[in-house]
Amino acid sequence: MSKVINRFLDYVKVETTSDPRSGKHPSTSTQLDFAKKLAEELQSIGLTDVTVNEKAYVMAALPSNIEKEVPVVGFVAHMDTSSDFSGKNIRPQFVEDYNGEKIILNEAQNIVLEPEVFPELLKYKGQTIITTDGTTLLGADDKAGLSEIVTAMEYLVLHPEIPHGEIKVAVTPDEEIGEGADFFDVSEFGADFAYTLDGGEIGELEYENFNAASAKVKINGRIVHPGFAKNKMKNSMLIAQQFLSMLPANEVPQHTVGFEGFYHLMEISGKVEETNMEFIIRDHNHQLFEKRKALFESIVTHLNKQHGENTVILDMKDQYYNMLEKIKPVMYVVDIAKDAMVECGVKPKIKAIRGGTDGARLSYMGLPCPNVFAGGHNFHGKYEFVPVESMEKAVEVILKIVEKVQNIKKQ
């Protein structure tokens, strides 16, 4: 099992941050470089039909070693890390036999991982925890999942006595910017169903997620000398403040949980002449999701009536939808993963994702794709960590899923 950790450490050394502003596919050249190296590795461990295209999608197969026809199962991970925090020069640190006390990530900068703030740490007393050094994220989202998939495939190659049907592997770029499935060819992949290894703590099993939209709001002002501005100046920053005041104050990430949706202001910049804001809009319930988008449109209409036509310009786009609708007809794929966890000694934690995965969009593209834990916590920042034992257990769960799939008939 040390292979999965060594592989993870190798992967996080490579900077693969995606860029939401590039307009390219992949959004960063480092992802394509990583994809090519990964394809070489997949070939070297014995997988077949290994491909990597110009957009950095990697696909591979492990042929069936049984005579009966069973479903083709796939495993999917993404290679990119979030642009929310630096993913360059990652230097993982190991905390062995964790004692339940605070972990000093960076003494010079006084950056500390504390159980008072992150009580989930206490679940891993006595285990080995991999942390950041306080200056970067860790990259467990999703290089932990990627490491686990590749390690499980290598194990099956090295143990041909283990019966299994055909298995497909896919690695996507740009998941963190919502574009991971944009150029995913489901028919080329050829799986009947798949699992993303992109969940959080050990035991997580998810087949519900947010409906999601992005919204860019541009506010056009008018700059006039402030000494002569009466009835002439139009301060775009104050109009932006007015826009924000018309959103429900408590329906933001820091005040919501479970199935509660939110509006999240991600970025704002402006001067008197022009202000720009970027939001994400989230809700599990589709009707409430549509109401949230409608509120944005009504605010824009109201402000344009007050301040003049085209003062506020809205560019709003749907990103992905709740996969539950597509998973319900094939709930057996969830049962396979749930039973696999139980048989591996893992208690399933079935919950809705307060976010999204490639699996959400892939499910709408015809590939049912629930999400399985990869083991990490506190993604997208310097407090990210992953327990070694959780990663090792994820490999076991993948192998158990494979075992269980070869015992069912192809539908």
Q: Which residues are catalytic?
A: 80, 175
Sign of CA dihedral 177, 181, 182, 184: positive
Residue 328 burial (CB < 10 Å; 0-12/13-18/19+)?
A: exposed
CA–CA separation, 195 and 338 (whole Å):
12
Q: Sheet holding 204-206: strands in order across? A: 48-52, 58-62, 167-172, 73-78, 193-199, 371-373, 204-206, 349-350
The H or E element that residue 214 is part of is: strand 211-220
Instruction: Locate all alpha helices (DSSP H) within 286-331, ordered by sequence.
Output: 286-307, 324-327
CA–CA separation, 57 and 176 (whole Å):
14
Residues paired with 263 in a beta bridge = 281
CA–CA separation, 176 and 11 (whole Å):
17
Alpha-carbon distance values, 350 to 49, 334, 347 (Å): 34, 10, 9
CA–CA separation, 123 and 281 (whole Å):
32
Identify which of 406, 388, 393, 286 has the alpha carbon closest to the alpha carbon of residue 336. 406
Place of tokens 């158990």: 400
How many CA atoms lie within 13 Å of 375's alpha carbon, on the beta-carbon side? 33
